[in-house]
Chain A
Amino acid sequence: MSEVIIEVKDLMFTYGKSQVKAVDGLSFKVKKGEIFGLLGPSGAGKSTTQKILTRLLKGYGGTITYLGKDLSAYDNTFYEDIGVGFELPVHFSKLTGEENMAFFSRLYRKQVDVAPLLKRVGLYEDKDKMVGSYSKGMKMRLNFVRALLNDPKVLFLDEVTNGLDPKNARIIKDMIRAFKEQGGTVILTTHLMNDVEELCDNIAFISGGRIKEIATPRELKIKYGKRILDVEYALNGKTKQNTFDLDGLSNNDTFMSILKNHDIETMHSGETSLDDIFIKVTGESIHE
């Protein structure tokens, strides 16, 4: 049993004048060393949840415990422990990337060497340029570096790959995985299936402020995937296709004879994409 870092029970939140609950009864646990994904379409309540977990929004219903203690019992030293990546750029536009990092760094007791991080995300060359001149993707990469400045134990990342090209998204994802491998815990909120599929140990499907399902990507695929096997094989110089039920496959004579007597061209289990599973579970598409 690994240690529970964050436990959320019946979390509710309504914005000031709003009539609808932005978050409506969320419950989940995040364990040490895992990457926990909150996946849902725009407006599902992901950023709101992150803001509550990082103590920015107060006045929520339900309980949140961090390392076994109520979140509200912590003082501001809580922030020495965590790193937060926002979904929007959050920097002084007329300061350079390096000046921004230096300023925020000094607010923490523990500080990391910023240069290697900037090099890793490909911003080192641009560190002396004003952030105002950065592209959206560069600003998001700087956001990510900013989240790591205090060598945090827990990372909260909101749409961390948003606006990044595939190459840079790859770098960030590798860094997240490396963070986990060094014992870090990550709460990732995103509307991008790719991110959770590649990174997350557990996924919560969230829609309309509610969690519809929590499971590992594998469990989801097993539970919602079609239990079938598509086989394509060569027969008299032509491709033939056959579909089998996964259950009782070892006793299926047709299948066995195809394996024995023909050249198999392709074989696919009836895996459903997480996209499809999301629609199945929430009744809603993740893309607008």
Chain B
Amino acid sequence: MNNFGTLLKGEFQRLSKYKIMQAGIGVSLLWVATLFLIGPDDAGMFLPLFVFMDVSLMTVLLIGSGLFYERQENTLKTLLITPTKFSHIIYSKLITAVIIALQSALILGLLGYFFFDVGIQFHYLIAFTVLISFMHAMLGFVFAVLLKDFPSLLASIMLYMIVFAFPSIFYALDILSTTWSYILIISPTHASMLLVELAFGEPVNGWMIVVSIVYLIVITLVFAKWIVFPNYFKKAIED
């Protein structure tokens, strides 16, 4: 097996050994239970919201906490003195996060499709889940680079939710008017939310779709080029 395959396999082995995978499945089941409690009439409205939470916030939490744990264990240093390429180490984690996000998005999507009669466009759901979780996984790396410990990671994710996610959630629940959509687009979570809604067959303005996609790609690249790749390993070594 080549090194990238080994890294990826290692990530999944650890996700399971560290019970992160189990926690992720647990969260998905929690969403599922909630949807059944809500009942078929409103489930359609909450489903995109849950998918959005899982694919964005859960991904930041997954990557961020994993990286802090790894820092504590000093394991990144050992990886860095193997023939493995630095970029492969980062990509293996990003891809793992995307796969986990896809798993929960699909669980929820299929559930909506078969039980709640929600019109889901699965190709959109898959494509946007990849995009959104990739961006949020990168955000997890950004937090790991900038923050010093796990409590500050949790605090930052909370702050991120309050500033960026809640307005989008209110919007999705029709608490905020459509005009807000244009203002909120400067928030990465809102761009994510719009794309998830699109996948769930809700009407979204064509330009807003384009702007959202471009916006998510640009943020991801900016994070990668200026924050994550230049600083991540330096930080791990000097620790």
With a cutoff of 8 Å between Cβ atoms, the chain A residues found around residue B7 in the complex are: 107
B18 contacts A94, C-beta separation under 8 Å: yes
A86 contacts B78, C-beta separation under 8 Å: yes
With a cutoff of 8 Å between Cβ atoms, the chain B residues found around residue A80 in the complex are: 83
B17 contacts A90, C-beta separation under 8 Å: no
With contact pairs A76-B84, A76-B85, A80-B83 given, residues A56 and B13 touching in the complex (Cβ less than 8 Å): no
A99 contacts B77, C-beta separation under 8 Å: no
A90 contacts B75, C-beta separation under 8 Å: yes
Q: Which of B171-193 contact A (CB under 8 A)?
A: none
Question: Could you tell me the dominant secondary structure of chain A's interface residues?
Answer: loop
Q: Which of B1-48 contact A (CB under 8 A)?
A: 1, 3, 6-7, 10, 13-14, 17-18
Residue of A78, A88, A99 near B74 (CB, 8 A) is A88
Residue of B14, B74, B237 near A89 (CB, 8 A) is B74
Question: Could you tell me the dominant secondary structure of chain B's interface residues?
Answer: helix
Residue of A77, A78, A90, A94 near B78 (CB, 8 A) is A90
* Alpha-carbon separation in the docked complex, A108 to B83 (Å): 7
Interface string of A65-78 (1 = CB under 8 A from B): 00000000000111
A93 contacts B73, C-beta separation under 8 Å: yes
* 14 pairs from A and B in contact (CB 8 Å cutoff): A79-B81, A79-B83, A90-B75, A92-B75, A95-B13, A104-B78, A104-B82, A106-B1, A106-B3, A106-B6, A107-B79, A108-B82, A109-B83, A146-B78
For the A-B complex with A54-B81, A99-B13, A106-B1 known, give 6 more contacts whose Cβ atoms are closer than 8 Å.
Answer: A15-B238, A76-B83, A86-B77, A91-B73, A103-B10, A108-B83
Residue numbers of B with Cβ under 8 A of A are 1, 3, 6-7, 10, 13-14, 17-18, 73-75, 77-85, 237-238
Residue numbers of A with Cβ under 8 A of B are 15-16, 51, 54, 56-57, 76-80, 82, 84, 86, 88-95, 99, 103-104, 106-109, 146
